[in-house]
Structure 1
């Protein structure tokens, strides 16, 4: 566990991709060709986005994942290093890194196709990986790597009293007994509807509602609602990941403070094109935090 309770040690197990981002006035309908207005390559992936967000929002993060041996690998590793995220457990495997093809329209909404690449090679955890998880204050996971690996990490974290924060996205039904070992689940409103009663065993449930903020359900029926700062949204890509990473970094402050911190961070992430490039720093979040 970290010696500084204000800077929690967070192990993030998840995906890392190169996002190929195309902007256009309107996303194409099936069979339609439209003209784009711009293109950018931005490191992303739900795991990497959340790791960077947690680090910038005040955590001390170690990333567990995989890149390929292709042209994107150096940039992907570099963006984590440049953000201060630990990469000692980022492995390199033969083959391509993960990519995401993203189309963003003039309203900031997006469509995304993810090709897992090296992320699919995360089929087992090493002893060194397990040691990082056991020593962390928080384990943060998503579902863009093999689910069995996520399940093994969750069970190991739970056995070592590491708080488990799970963003079950892309949404899918998991083993029933796994949910009982999840301390905090973070889902958007669509994922919450899809998963339904699966989420009932989770002690702390956070549901994001886009520009409308987030809600929280905790033990003993406790409920909270948090609005988001009003911003001019340019690109919503990575906003949910920013919310989740910031929530993990602030969880030690309690659900109410963490919800406000995360909602502010998520809103700020929509004001810049791209995923990792849009993630705000702790100073920006503090400056934009709504008065309490």
Structure 2
């Protein structure tokens, strides 16, 4: 059976909502605080599972109350958690997310995520699967896991976020790399913004493809996304949304994209679906809790 395997980070998100961000040295009163499950690995796994794909998550949490809550949240959302490891004496990952004026700024304390290792991945990859990774866990472990998945014939999706130094061989094991405009600019040393001409975005994606990855998807926020393969650069318009919180929108895109690949669609079809799923997610507070169900995405597609 086709399924999604996510190897990545788990964090407890401390979300602060305020009218605006404070200037250096300033205190702003009146914020509201929420404690919500997050982390790129967890978010992407939740997104895929809520869209109906059998999903497993490999990662590490601490032996603290946050770790227990993260494990329970995954189990409640039908994500296979047999691959989660509890690291004794370590705090679970934590992200401080300040939400102001429908945008966010994030600071992460990695905690137990730093201890993720390829030895924690106890299952062998199969050709019917889609394997997903990001850059919030150790790069060396990610590289080994994705190489093994690629060699087994599984499709591999790498969310190159946040940008970190990585071995050149890693991209040769990747079928699809997904980046936002900031990460694409950093990865290719080019000046790319969400408003850049599609030709400039496509050129930067081709630079990344030249390093070995088969296809590149650039996400451009409300503008949509661009899928670049050897044959085509396809612009996919974004879906309208009443934005409450953009936290986790990129992770929703990746999880939905992987789910549709596992369901047998093309990368372009998967990106169209993922655009709509991400639009649904920004209309609620938080990262993982905002991931939509297949029914919610279908309803949005029916209105398009």
**TM-score, normalization: structure 2?**
0.89
C-alpha separation between the residues in 2 aligned to 1:39 and 1:132? 41
Tell me if the contact between 1:134 and 1:156 (Cα under 8 Å) persists in the aligned partners: no
Q: What secondary structure sits across from 2:20 in the alignment?
A: coil
Superposed, which structure 2 residues align to 1:13-24 within 5 Å?
Answer: 13-24=7-18
Counterpart of 1:86 in structure 2 is: 80
Q: What secondary structure sits across from 1:131 in the alignment?
A: coil
Shift, 1:215, TM fit: 0.7
Counterpart of 1:111 in structure 2 is: 105
C-alpha separation between the residues in 1 aligned to 2:168 and 2:20? 40
Q: What secondary structure sits across from 1:92 in the alignment?
A: strand
Counterpart of 1:239 in structure 2 is: 249
Superposed, which structure 2 residues align to 1:154-169 within 5 Å?
Answer: 154-169=146-161
Superposed, which structure 2 residues align to 1:146-157 within 5 Å?
Answer: 146-157=138-149
Superposed, which structure 2 residues align to 1:1-150 within 5 Å?
Answer: 2=1, 8-94=2-88, 95-105=90-100, 107-126=101-120, 129-134=121-126, 137-150=129-142
Superposed, which structure 2 residues align to 1:191-210 within 5 Å?
Answer: 191-196=183-188, 197-200=207-210, 201-210=212-221
Tell me if the contact between 2:118 and 2:142 (Cα under 8 Å) persists in the aligned partners: no
Tell me if the contact between 1:173 and 1:198 (Cα under 8 Å) persists in the aligned partners: no
Shift, 1:115, TM fit: 0.5
Shift, 1:14, TM fit: 0.1
C-alpha separation between the residues in 2 aligned to 1:130 and 1:57? 25
Q: Evaluate the alpha carbon distance shift between residue 47 and residue 104 of structure 1 in structure 2; reply closer, same or farther with a 3 A threshold.
A: same
Unaligned residue ranges in structure 1 (runs of 5+): 3-7
For residue 263 of structure 1, the aligned residue among 259, 275, 281 is 275
Shift, 1:25, TM fit: 0.5
Unaligned residue ranges in structure 2 (runs of 5+): 189-206
C-alpha separation between the residues in 1 aligned to 2:218 and 2:303? 22
Q: What secondary structure sits across from 1:249 in the alignment?
A: helix
Q: What secondary structure sits across from 1:36 in the alignment?
A: coil
For residue 285 of structure 2, the aligned residue among 273, 276, 279 is 273
Aligned-residue RMSD, C-alpha: 1.5
Q: What secondary structure sits across from 2:289 in the alignment?
A: helix
C-alpha separation between the residues in 2 aligned to 1:45 and 1:206? 21
Q: Evaluate the alpha carbon distance shift between residue 28 and residue 199 of structure 1 in structure 2; reply closer, same or farther with a 3 A threshold.
A: farther
Shift, 1:60, TM fit: 1.0
